[in-house]
Structure 1
């Protein structure tokens, strides 16, 4: 059975040995347990009710048994199923609607144009800092009602909290996540008080109103939901924007095609998310002993889905070994999960990229990487920590 060391700092889910293992079979061994490499098996396991998100087990596996991370993670919505999950998701769903996402699109476009003005003036930029972090922060602030003066605070907290899915990487990961959780918890607690006293037309005010009217969740659960929303609204979109720029820098002809045919924007976003997803991997835990396609999985075992490799699986995506924004891909993306736990923020992430990419393609030639790109760990939320790019006007 192939062995893939996914916790190695230099590991890459698109390395030749990964696809060799995928061609040989649907799973490989790893330091984290079974690693699922193919699309069909990943999709089935994401929907399998015999697997959950790990609860305390994930933290215990990495030596976290108490403290701010535990107190945030254990009651998080993803760690609830059935009636509890529906109760928590219902509060968010009644406040965070598709109509709200559509209403924020003009703000997204205005923000993209303003940030593009700054990029054009600079020419050479560190893209994560200059654009990828600032766009979702601004959108999050607009939606949630977070004052612009506090965006810099949120930038650090909401990025570091995303390392929760990379605890196996070691180093200072735990301490960074602890600081982020503590900071966001305290801030959101105060923000709830503000929205109770002075409600506005924003998502947190609507969530507070639903909470006060229905009392289906506790105040602690409300705070946890908002902290989780902040994390989801910023970190994943930040890295997806940066991953898009890396991808187009590697495929400049596709950038030119998008400039010529901006109507391809939605398809381009889906293809970027397929090719280089910000959620390069996701995990689940077996709640009972399972025999799945000949693999015996003991209760308590964690199973890691290699989303980035699975989304290039030729069995699911014929011709999927090429990045092509004109292609029609029938198989749905995996990075947002499946079933009852499908990511609530997927539409907002798609909206931001579908507005940003055609504007950037219209205004600039393909991005050029001008220095060393440093990366987050391959496991969990994946993307550049630093992405030096040069943008020039089309000739």
Structure 2
């Protein structure tokens, strides 16, 4: 059937011009202006989908897929052992292999499986706060957010406490392969060495559990079966690495971003401290208003008519969830930060379609419990220095967030 829609590049759509180091706040006014004129704009790297409805739709459209190895390609690497390892992981697979792996994993990665972590989450966040309480000040990024998620992921998969630092070190090194922005410390051999050590450790964990399954995610993955199929050792290795990568940096950055926006709205900080039942709503609202993941890349795998325009095969397209989550057609007074919002559609920050975040339940639980404990134990927080953000094009969030606070001694005693 012939395509009659105009080519997206020739349709006189609004343009958004920003530097590749621009932060979400840097581009907000331009996004709002473009969004008021059209649901799609041409950005510095390609078309950007700005409306909630179209962004939601493109994330579910199989004609637009996550390009394999896109983060390494951004750093000039398109082949080799690291590229091969990344593109065959759950994050890089597409089609039938991806569906099979995801089906098996989803049987293990359930709200029930993550709810067992509540005690660990409470212990970790309270211990981090204990360390800074006496000083009455801290850097939320380095003192709270950065060390927070790794122990929880380790507890989830069943790694013993004495090895949590090992996992933190491996994650720090391997994550460089998942970063859009070139890293001056990028060393392919060092990344492969760290990944090899992680794989060897997971092999030992799997061997120990084959005949003695326990109550952790790795055991659940070994048990998982779908249509007579089970996960093999290579897949188990890849999944553990994937959980560490997907579950660590995202949570670190979003926790810092969520704390910042709550600090900037003292009434909302106090409200959450007094009404902990709003924890999940506070997570969703802070991820809507100040997300750590703002732009989701896709590539057209064929000539595709979408939103009234032709996207030629190979076109890079970006679902701008930052703009979509502030679409005034969907959210009343979209720029207002209000943790008591109700009856709103789901945020797009966790993606959508085949690559919807498998760990969304865990991430929301981790963030909600951390925010509830922080707002209960620390009162009247104030930012006391700059809090610059990373580029909107990768995982963003504040690089530093110095705050002072008053300590609620009663809440601390009951923590």
**TM-score (ref. length: structure 1):** 0.90
Which aligned pairs between 1:178-197 and structure 2 lie closer than 5 A?
A: 179-180=190-191, 182-197=193-208
Which aligned pairs between 1:169-184 and structure 2 lie closer than 5 A?
A: 169-172=181-184, 175=186, 179-180=190-191, 182-184=193-195
State how far apart, in whole Å, the 1-side matches of 2:59 and 2:366 are: 26
| SS of structure 1 residue aligned to 2:113 | helix
Cα deviations by residue, 1:5-63 (Å, 9 ceiling, x for unpaired): 25134564653122111112112222321112221110010011111111256644652
| SS of structure 1 residue aligned to 2:121 | helix
Instruction: Give the aligned partner of residue 279 of structure 2.
Output: 265
**Runs of at least 4 residues off by over 6 Å:** none
1:325 is displaced (CA, Å) by: 0.7
Which of residues 345, 348, 355 in structure 1 aligns to 2:362? Answer: 348
Cα deviations by residue, 1:136-164 (Å, 9 ceiling, x for unpaired): 11211111122334433433543565555
| SS of structure 2 residue aligned to 1:77 | coil
Instruction: Give the aligned partner of residue 151 of structure 1.
Output: 164
Larger Rg belongs to? 2
- Work out whether 1:125 is the aligned partner of 2:135: no
Which sits farther off after the overlay, 179-188 or 319-328?
Answer: 179-188
Which of residues 40, 46, 51 in structure 2 aligns to 1:33? Answer: 46
Cα deviations by residue, 1:149-196 (Å, 9 ceiling, x for unpaired): 4433433543565555542x33527x1687446413421332222331
Aligned length: 392
- Work out whether 1:330 is the aligned partner of 2:344: yes
Q: Does the 8 Å CA contact 1:282/1:380 hold for their aligned counterparts?
A: no
Q: Does the 8 Å CA contact 1:13/1:306 hold for their aligned counterparts?
A: no
State how far apart, in whole Å, the 1-side matches of 2:142 and 2:383 are: 15
**TM-score (ref. length: structure 2):** 0.86
Cα deviations by residue, 1:49-108 (Å, 9 ceiling, x for unpaired): 111111256644652122354123211223333431221113322222221111111221
Cα deviations by residue, 1:178-228 (Å, 9 ceiling, x for unpaired): 7446413421332222331255432123324548x9664443232222111
CA spacing shift, 1:331–1:106, aligned 2, 3 Å: same
- Work out whether 1:286 is the aligned partner of 2:300: yes
Instruction: Give the aligned partner of residue 270 of structure 2.
Output: 256
State how far apart, in whole Å, the 2-side matches of 1:177 and 1:125 are: 34
Instruction: Give the aligned partner of residue 123 of structure 2.
Output: 110
Structure 1: which 5+ runs fail to align? none
CA spacing shift, 1:87–1:57, aligned 2, 3 Å: same
State how far apart, in whole Å, the 2-side matches of 1:273 and 1:162 are: 22
Structure 2: which 5+ runs fail to align? 1-13, 410-415
| SS of structure 2 residue aligned to 1:85 | helix
Instruction: Give the aligned partner of residue 362 of structure 1.
Output: 376
| SS of structure 2 residue aligned to 1:21 | helix
| SS of structure 1 residue aligned to 2:258 | helix
CA spacing shift, 1:249–1:161, aligned 2, 3 Å: farther
Q: Does the 8 Å CA contact 2:16/2:30 hold for their aligned counterparts?
A: no
Q: Does the 8 Å CA contact 1:165/1:380 hold for their aligned counterparts?
A: no
State how far apart, in whole Å, the 1-side matches of 2:398 and 2:197 are: 28
CA spacing shift, 1:299–1:61, aligned 2, 3 Å: farther
